[in-house]
Structure 1
Amino acid sequence: MVDWPEAFGTRFTVMVDTEEEFDWRAPLSSANRSVTAIAALPEAHRRFADSGMPLTYLIDHPVATDPAALEILRHLIEDGRSAVGTQLHPWVNPPHEEEVAPHNTFVGNLPATLEAAKLDILTEAIATGVGVRPRIYRAGRYGIGPATLRLLSDRGYLIDSSMRSAYDYSAEAGPDFTAIPNHAFWCGPGNAMIELPLTTVFTGAVRSGGTSLYRTLGHIPRGRGLFARTHLMSRVALTPEDMPVADALEAIAVALGQGVRLLNFAFHSPSLVPGHTPYVRDQADLRRFHLWWDIVLTDLARRNVRPASLDDLIHASSKA
C-alpha cells in the first residue's frame, strides 16, 4: 500500500470521465463521437473551484480531437491545480482493427500491440491538443488487462485509476475487482506506478460480509435490493450517479473508519447535461446532482478531509 506522508493527512480527489455522449441502453458504436456536453464543464468547474476543489479530467479520443472541447479544457487547467489525463474507449479510438463487440469494449482484452497503438494515438492527441503530457490513466469500462500497466509505465504514466473496488465485470468478459482494496497501492513494473482505485465500500449492519456476502446476494432474486432497503448491506461507490447522498455520507464515514487516506470520487461529463446519461435525465435530476456535491463537500470539510490535485498526489507519493 502507499504509505502517504503524515503531512498529507486524509484527502480526496475528483476525477471526471470526460467523454462523448451515447445512448447507454444501446450497443456501443464507433460512430458516437458527439461531445456537446463539454460546453457544460466551465460552469461545473466553477462550482468545484468555489469549494477549493481541483478536478482531473480523464479525456478520451473524441474529446481529445475536438477543437472546441480542447479549447475549453486548456482554459480549465489554467487554474494551476486541475489537470488532464487519459481515458481510453477502444470503440471510438483508432486504429479500428477489432470488431466492436462487448468483449472488445474492455481494451485490456485486445492484443497488446493493438492496445499499445490505441494508447499511443490517444496519448499523443492529448499532449498535442492540450499542451501537457498526461500522467494518469483510466481504461474505459475499467477494462484494464494483463499488458496495461507495462504499456503505461513505458509511456511515462505515473498513476492508473482503472480498478473499481468491489465490482466484478467478469460476466461481461471484463475484470473482477472484488479483491481490490480502497487503499492506493504500488503496481506496474518495479512497483513504480500507483493504482488509485475508485472508492467503493459496503455499508449496513452486515457490511463485514463484504464481497463474499454481496456475491451470494446476487444469486438470490432481489436479494441485494432487500438488504439495501432494510439497511443490512449496500455497495456504495463515491459518485453522485445512482448513489443517494445519505448512502454516500455513510460510505465516507465507513471508509475513513477503515483508515482509507485517499478517497477517490468520479462522475461522467455527459451527466452535466440532462438526457445524456441515465443518472441525469432532466433538470430536477441535475439539481439533485449539484446538491449531492454541495452536501458531500460540506461533509468532507467538516471532517477535515482536504482536496488533492494530481500534482499533490504525485508529490506526496514521491515521499511515501
Structure 2
Amino acid sequence: MLNPPPRNSLAEFAPSFGQRVLLTVDTEEEFDWDGPFTRDQHGLKHVARMAEFQSFCEKLGTAPLYLVDWPIVHCDSAVELIGDALARGTAEIGIQLHPWVNPPFQEEVNERNSYAGNLPQELEREKFTQLRDAIADRFNTNPLVYRAGRYGLGPHSADMLLEAGVAIDTSVRCHFDYRPGSGPDYSRHPRRPYWVDEGRHLLELPVTTVFWGMLRKQARAIYPRLEGRPGLLSALSRLGILERIALTPEGVTSEEAIRALDMAIDDGLPIIVLSLHSPSLDVGHTPYVRSEEDLAKLYDWLRVVIGYCELRGVKPTSVAEIMQSTIV
C-alpha cells in the first residue's frame, strides 16, 4: 500500500460513468495545528456550523463524504446532523483514524505515532476496529471508506482494511512525501484510482493533487529535489514553470484550482477528489480560516470549483455510485 502500484492495477469504470468529482471532509476535532499532539486538548465548537455547510452542499447538488473520527462519533450534535443527512441520502460516511484521540491509549503521543500506520500492527487494528464499530453503532450503518488521519498508512493498513471488508481507501495524497515528519511517501503514487490487492477487493481513491506548468511532465523527477527550497518553488510557480496544486480550498485559490482541474480533466482522470477539514467550517480553528471573510472565500471556492466541474461535464458523484460503476 505504501509502494506505488503496478500499472496493470489501475481501476476502470463503466463507460457511462465518465469523469466525476467527489467532495470529502476530514470530519474531526479542533486542535492546535502548530502545537504538540495531545489526547485531551481539543474542541468541537465548529460542529454548530456544519449544518450551514450541509445545506450549502445540498443546494450545489453534491453529497459530501464525511470521514469521521472518534471525538465526532461521540458528539451528539454531529451524529444528529450527519445522521439526518445520511437518512435523506444527501451525505455519506466513512472512517478517519486520529490515533492520538482514539482508544486504546497504549502508545506515546508524538508526531511519529500520529500516523496510525506507524503503530504496532495490533494496536493500529484495535484503534481502527473500535472506531469502525462506534460509527456503525452511532450512525446505524456499516462504513466502507477509510482515510488514515494525516494520510498515515502503514505496512499493515491494507490487510487491516481487507479483513474489515472496507471497500475503498482514500488515504493516499499523491505527489506528497511525509517522510521528513516520519510519515509515508506518496510522491510516486498515481493520481488515478487503483486496486490495492490482486483480488480487487480494496480500491484506492487518491486525494487529487496536480502538477501544473511547463515542466509538469518532468515534475516527478524534479519536484522532490526542490521541496526543501520554498523560495525556488515559489519562483517557479510565479513563472508558470512548475507548481503543485492540491484540490482543496485550504491554502489554494480558486484560480489555482481551475488550472489544476483543467490538467486533471484533460488528462482523463476519472475521479477528482476534493478535500477539506471540518474545523475550517468555522473561524479560528485552522490556519486557513481566521476570519468570516476567509470562511466566505472557502464557500466561494467550493461554489466556483464544483460549478467549473459541471461546466466541463464533470458531475458530482458518491461512494455508492463509484462502487457500482467500478469494473472488477
| TM-score with structure 2 setting the length | 0.95
- Distance in 1 (alpha carbons) for counterparts of 2:254 and 2:75: 34
- Selected match of 1:182 from 188, 191, 198: 191
In structure 2, the residue matched to 1:214 is 223
- Selected match of 1:167 from 172, 176, 184: 176
In structure 1, the residue matched to 2:269 is 260
CA contact (8 A) 1:32 1:92 kept: no
Superposed, 1:1-320 pairs within 5 Å as 1-188=10-197, 190-220=199-229, 222-317=231-326, 319-320=327-328
- Distance in 1 (alpha carbons) for counterparts of 2:41 and 2:229: 36
Structure 2, unaligned runs of 5 or more? 1-9
Q: Secondary structure at the match of 1:95?
A: coil
Q: Measured at CA, do residues 7 and 101 of structure 1 come closer, stay the same or move farther in structure 2, by a change above 3 Å?
A: same
1:17 maps to a residue whose letter is: D
Q: Measured at CA, do residues 143 and 263 of structure 1 come closer, stay the same or move farther in structure 2, by a change above 3 Å?
A: same
The alpha carbon displacement at 1:171 in A equals: 0.8
Q: Secondary structure at the match of 1:43?
A: helix
The alpha carbon displacement at 1:190 in A equals: 2.5
Q: Secondary structure at the match of 2:310?
A: helix
Task: Pick which of 215-224 and 199-208 moved more.
Answer: 215-224
Give structure 1 regions of 4+ aligned residues with deviation exceeding 6 angstroms.
Answer: none
- Distance in 2 (alpha carbons) for counterparts of 1:108 and 1:28: 16
- Distance in 1 (alpha carbons) for counterparts of 2:260 and 2:244: 9
1:122 maps to a residue whose letter is: L
CA contact (8 A) 2:27 2:68 kept: yes
- Distance in 2 (alpha carbons) for counterparts of 1:252 and 1:79: 30
1:36 maps to a residue whose letter is: K
1:250 maps to a residue whose letter is: R
CA contact (8 A) 1:166 1:180 kept: yes
Instruction: Say how many residue pairs are matched.
Output: 319
The alpha carbon displacement at 1:221 in A equals: 5.8
Q: Deviations over 1:34-91 (max 9, x none)?
A: 2221221111111111111011000000011122221111112122142110000000
Q: Deviations over 1:200-234 (max 9, x none)?
A: 01111221221221122224461111111222111
Percent identity, aligned pairs only, is: 36
Q: Secondary structure at the match of 2:172?
A: coil
Q: Measured at CA, do residues 210 and 35 of structure 1 come closer, stay the same or move farther in structure 2, by a change above 3 Å?
A: same
- Distance in 2 (alpha carbons) for counterparts of 1:32 and 1:77: 29
Q: Secondary structure at the match of 1:222?
A: helix
The alpha carbon displacement at 1:277 in A equals: 0.3
- Distance in 2 (alpha carbons) for counterparts of 1:215 and 1:226: 16
| TM-score with structure 1 setting the length | 0.97
- Distance in 2 (alpha carbons) for counterparts of 1:107 and 1:219: 25
Task: Pick which of 77-86 and 90-99 moved more.
Answer: 77-86
Q: Deviations over 1:173-198 (max 9, x none)?
A: 11000111110001136331100000
Task: Pick which of 102-111 and 24-33 moved more.
Answer: 24-33
Q: Secondary structure at the match of 2:300?
A: helix
1:59 maps to a residue whose letter is: V
- Distance in 2 (alpha carbons) for counterparts of 1:144 and 1:192: 17
Q: Secondary structure at the match of 1:190?
A: coil
Structure 1, unaligned runs of 5 or more? none
- Distance in 2 (alpha carbons) for counterparts of 1:284 and 1:51: 21
